[in-house]
Each structure stands twice: as structure tokens, then as C-alpha cells.
Amino acid sequence: MGPQHPSTHGVFRMDIVLDGERVVGLKPVFGYLHRNHEKIGEGTSYLGSMPYTDRLDYFCSLTNNWAYALAVEKLAGLEVPERAQYIRLITAELTRLQNHACLGGFLLQDMGASGTPLMYAFRQREQILDLFESLTGSRMMCNYMRFGGCRCDLPPGWAGQAARVADEFPRFLDEFEALLNENEILLSRTQGVGVLPRDLAVNAGVTGPMLRASGVNYDLRKADPYGIYDRFSFRIPLGEHGDVYDRYRVRVLEMRESVKLLQQALRDLPQGPVIDPKAKLRGFRPKPGEAYARIEAPKGELGFYLISDGSPNPWRYRVRAPSLINLTVLEDLCRGHHVADVVVILGSVDIVLGEVDR
């Protein structure tokens, strides 16, 4: 199946062994989109890698920026000003909203609900992308964060508009849930399909909404708070069964929590500089050493590992991509199900091939 199959969310191939309609074995084959991301990172300057991180998980460029900026800040010992911390959190939560909204749409598209849920999700996503464009200049390839802060301050009126988008979002979620939650077709296609047992999820290193849908309470925003997440009150939604339906529900509930976070952050947004005055753009050479920084990206734990030898480019640049690691359990999820369920299960894993292949 694949690599040009419309349901594989990119160029991704699965070697499936079938017994009639039942899947008995599945081997994911990837690398079609491999473009030497890590090696390029070793060849360009620290700043030069920032726009490349946008292209990892191209739905969530701002969280990728944040993870990379955190790693370099750890390496170089830079402080992030208060206002920049708030802006980072706001943009990251907006990213989470649009990623999960899209994923809901794509998942339903994979199930055959052609268009309606996806278009409702895209209508909402468009508002968030407009916010990104007016702030960073680009809808998807934002390239916004810098070591020690953010590139530029919020344009006038941006915070008010973001607050409006956040306030309107629950209405969209109500609509989305009324449309889908009790839909019998959705229930029969997703409940009990692709069950990920809790111990397998932990052993395979699965993170993000997939892990939480299996009932494991592990969210880096709570478990290892980075940025200023420890100042806000929000809850971590957990699933019970670990099936496709739980993964969908966990994401919807997570969006509601993100809205809460956004409302709190936009209320408390302080004034001040957005970048550490010590941070310099050119000729940036951190001291020799190593750093690993991780954040809770919408798809799971995204980590950057950097080794510096004191030169302008990193000696080693490594990405821990959540999509790739979440994909390793695909065979266990699919075994025993129909071919048509493979499509739905893959959709619920939430992969972006830009990040899987790097």
C-alpha cells in the first residue's frame, strides 16, 4: 500500500501481508522524503538550521522552532524575556489547536466522511494561520523564534484578535462534536479498532496524545515543565481503551485545554522586550558542550540534541521526532484488522512524513 496512496498522508509505503481481508503482518517502509535534515544541520550555522526546522513537521513549525531554540538556549545559557515566553506559549498552543483540528478532519476523511469535517476544521485553521501570517510573515514556514526570544514583537491588535479566535474556538468544537461524537458510523469504525495497550505504548516510547489515549498520564507540559507552563492551570485529558476513538477524543479534549491556556496567557501577557539583548544573530558560537531539550509538540515529545565543539555550526545535530517513534507500533495496532481499518489507524497515529523521514 503506497507510496502514492491518498490515505498515507504523504509518501509512505506499507508492506502488508494479508490473510483474506485480515492483516497478519505489516512493515512500514519510509525514507521517500528523506532530505538529510540532520546532516544539513551540522553543515549550516545555528541560525541557519532554524528555517529548516519549520520543514520537519510542517503543520507545527512554531513548536519545532521552540524545541530547537530551547536546545540552543540550553547550550549557550541564554535567558528568554518574560514577554517572549508568553508569546512562545501562545503561538505553541495555537499550533496545537490547528494541528488537532486538522487531524480530526483528516481522520474523518480517511473514514470516508468526504469533506465536511475537514472543511469545518480548515475554516477554523485558516483564522489561526492568518494570525501566524500577520505575526511571522508566513502561514506555515514561520521561522519566528530566535535564540533568546522571538524575532519581532506582536503587531498592534494581534493579541486582541488571538483572544477572539480563542474565545470562538469552543463554539467550533461544540459543532464538531455534535457532528461526530455520536455518529454510529464513526463509532463502529473506531471503537475497539487499533487498540494500543498501555504497557506496549510505554515500552515502544510512544508519546503525545497517542500515549495519553492509552491511559498513561504523561505530558511534558506537566511532567517536565518548560517555558512557563507551570504557571497556568490546565488538565491532561486521558483515554481509557487506547483505541482510535479514544485518540480522537483525547485530541478534542486537549483542544479545549489549549483554549483555556490561551485565554490565561493572553490575559496575563506582560510588556517588555522580546529578545535577550545578549543574544547575537551572526557569529554565534556556543561553548563546547551538549544539550538536549524537549517539548510537548502536538504529535508527542519533540527533542533536539546538540553537541557543540565551539565552532559556528553544531558538531552533532539530532532530532527525536515523535511521528517516527509513534509509527513503530503500527504493526501491533493493525494486526487482525481489515485493510480498511489500516487507513483509519494510520490516520489516528497522526504522522507527518516531513518529520518521519527528515
Distant-in-sequence, close-in-space partners of 15: CB < 8 Å, separation ≥ 6? 25, 26, 27, 28, 29
Give dist(CA 95, CA 258) in Å, integer.
10
Nearer to other proteins, 33 or 210 (CB): 33
Nearer to other proteins, 63 or 313 (CB): 313
Distant-in-sequence, close-in-space partners of 264: CB < 8 Å, separation ≥ 6? 232, 233
Nearer to other proteins, 164 or 235 (CB): 164
Other CB atoms within 10 A of residue 178 CB: 10
User: Rounded to whole angstroms, what are the CA distances from 311 to 64, 71, 285, 314?
Assistant: 23, 16, 6, 7
Least distance to other proteins from the beta carbon of 217, Å?
Answer: 30
The residue ranges that bind other proteins (CB under 8 A) are: 44-45, 47-52, 54, 116, 120, 123, 126, 130, 133-138, 141, 143, 151-152, 155, 175, 178-187, 281-282
Least distance to other proteins from the beta carbon of 134, Å?
Answer: 4
Least distance to other proteins from the beta carbon of 155, Å?
Answer: 7
Q: Contact 88/145 with Cβ under 8 angstroms?
A: yes
The Cβ-side half-sphere exposure at 132, using a 13 Å CA radius, reads 26
Nearer to other proteins, 35 or 278 (CB): 35
Least distance to other proteins from the beta carbon of 98, Å?
Answer: 15
Least distance to other proteins from the beta carbon of 43, Å?
Answer: 10
Least distance to other proteins from the beta carbon of 209, Å?
Answer: 23
Nearer to other proteins, 158 or 305 (CB): 158
Nearer to other proteins, 138 or 264 (CB): 138
Q: Contact 194/334 with Cβ under 8 angstroms?
A: yes
Nearer to other proteins, 25 or 192 (CB): 192
Least distance to other proteins from the beta carbon of 69, Å?
Answer: 15
272: left (phi over 0), alpha (psi -120 to 50) or beta: left
Q: Contact 224/292 with Cβ under 8 angstroms?
A: no
Nearer to other proteins, 45 or 264 (CB): 45
Other CB atoms within 10 A of residue 307 CB: 16
Least distance to other proteins from the beta carbon of 51, Å?
Answer: 3
CA neighbor of 131 nearest in space, from 314, 304, 266, 253: 266
Other CB atoms within 10 A of residue 203 CB: 10
Distant-in-sequence, close-in-space partners of 271: CB < 8 Å, separation ≥ 6? 83
Which DSSP state fits 7? G
